[in-house]
Amino acid sequence: PVFCRRLAKAADAYINSTWKTVLLGTTGTGGKAVFALDVTAPDSFGSSNVLWEISTTTSSTPSNINDSTGVAGFRNNLGYTLPQPSLVRMSDGSWAAIVANGYGSVNNKAVLYIIDAATGNLIRSIDTKAGSSTAGSENGLSTPIALDVDNDRITDYIYAGDLKGNLWKFDVTNSTPSQWDVAYKSGSTPKPLYVACILSSTPCASANLQPITAKPQVGKVGAGQTGGLMVYFGTGKYFESADISTTQTQTFYGIWDKCDKTSSAGCDGQVSGRGSLQQQAITQELAQGGFNLRLTSNCTVNYGSTPLSGAVSAPCSTTANRLGWYMDFIQPGSSNLPANSDLGERIVSAPILRDGRIIFTTLIPSTDPCTFGGTGWLMELGSTSGQRLGWAPWDINGDGKIDSNDLVTSGGSSVAPSGKQSKVGIIKAPGIISAGTQEYKYTSGSTGSLEVTLESAGISSGRKAWRQLR
């Protein structure tokens, strides 16, 4: 069925002294289950190639079905498995499936499972303690990203968001699985790296929390930053019928996690809220070259300890010690819409980090049957700052070249657009093909058509991202 194929992922693992290709799959909205198949030789596939299946009633280790000391059992904690699993090598030498518990579990908490890829045995469950079955408190963990920061092909950290706006960091650097845990704590209470909230106030009121359902992206830090990692993610939700009419403001974030393997013991990388971040904003929408385009702010993010000199205009700030940036997806104002209008725009696809750019798509749902579910935007920003790019990203005038003629005039200056509206309805993260100094982005839309975007390949000056294992 479609919901199984869409949520399946194949990768290689060294199992029983030989390399095998393992397909990890989930049942999505069709059930609460995850499974593994040996697809090394697909032409001779049979029942013996089913490695394992885990559900709320089935497990390779029956004792893991129910909750016990230190174990978040599958019966009460495995939800509808919309998040995609990953296959990685762990620091204890095992090959493991990294599985988020998904949504709609009995306990409605956010839980990470680390499962032996060969046997299906539960190596470790990590309960964030966030969420409950109380109405309005329901939670679940979304698709994680596993990261190797020192290039030894072993997972060091795992990041994942949840429905309550928590961006979690899991530390799995220890060679003993029982030591794998949420990276940041207050006493024994797990704490997220960041809580996505519409307002700057802490703690964040439940109504202002922004759900994270898309896989994050992680990269190296930039100029003015020393140590740690940059974590990128968007907020929004789009898998329940009520989500279509939701107009809560959603946001894209770039968060500086100051702690990595080189940090001293006890390093605390928690970022307290928006007050620690530099705001970027959508400043204008216009039409040019047959495209609807967006312009965004160009604020410097001051990661240093000394305030910037000179006057700046909102939303920019001279404040020192910033820990990242954010951009709200609200309308800048036009002849049709007043400023700060909220159309329910959200980010539900994983961002892409490429040549100093963070690339992501947004979704604006619609109940109009003539709009194929809605529309969306392709956005490209400078990664560590969220600033607009310093060069034209797309071929706007259709001459097959990307140059100054593809810039947009704003306030008497020629600037790069940061957003381009889809012509094919709702789109997900694009497929990218490199062609020397140019590249092509392919976005498949809800209209059933494919849009091809010719764009610049950016400025590459060495590795921009840490190794993403899965």
Task: Spell out the SS3 assignment of the chain.
Answer: CHHHHHCCEEEEEEECCEEEEEEEEECECCCCEEEEEECCCHHHCCHHHEEEEEECCCCCCHHHCCCECCECCHHHHCCEECCCCEEEECCCCCEEEEEECCECCCCCCCEEEEEECCCCCEEEEEECCCCCCCCCCCCCECCCEEEECCCCCCCCEEEEEECCCEEEEEECCCCCHHHCEECEEECCEEECCEECECCCCCCCCHHHECCECCCCEEECCCCCCCCCEEEEEECECCCCHHHHHCCCCCEEEEEEECCCCCCCCCCCCCCCCHHHCEEECEEEEEEECCEEEEEECCCCCCCCCCCCCCCCCCCCCCCCCCCEEEEECCCCCCCCCCCCCCCCCECCCCCEEECCEEEEECEEECCCHHHCCEECEEEEEECCCCCCCCCCCECCCCCCCCCHHHCEEECCEEECCCEEECCCCCECCCEEEEECCEEEEEEEECCCCEEEEEEECCCCCCCCCCEECC
Determine the pLDDT at residue 6: 53
| Type of residue found at 127 | D
> Is the pTM higher than 0.85?
yes
Mean pLDDT, the chain, integer: 93
Give CA–CA dist 180/176, Å, rounded: 7
| Type of residue found at 115 | I
Give CA–CA dist 204/209, Å, rounded: 7
Give CA–CA dist 421/152, Å, rounded: 40
pLDDT per position as a tens digit, 199-231: 998 899 999 999 999 999 999 999 889 999 999
pLDDT per position as a tens digit, 367-412: 887 788 999 999 999 999 999 999 999 999 999 999 999 999 988 8
459 pLDDT more than 80: no
Angle (CA) 278 279 285, round 5°: 150
5 pLDDT more than 80: no
420 pLDDT more than 70: yes
Contacts of 445 (CB under 8 A, 6+ apart): 372, 422, 423, 424, 425, 426, 427, 451
336 pLDDT more than 60: no
Q: What percent of the chain has a predicted confidence (pLDDT) above 70?
A: 94
| Type of residue found at 315 | P
Determine the pLDDT at residue 1: 35
pLDDT per position as a tens digit, 130-155: 999 999 999 999 999 999 999 999 99
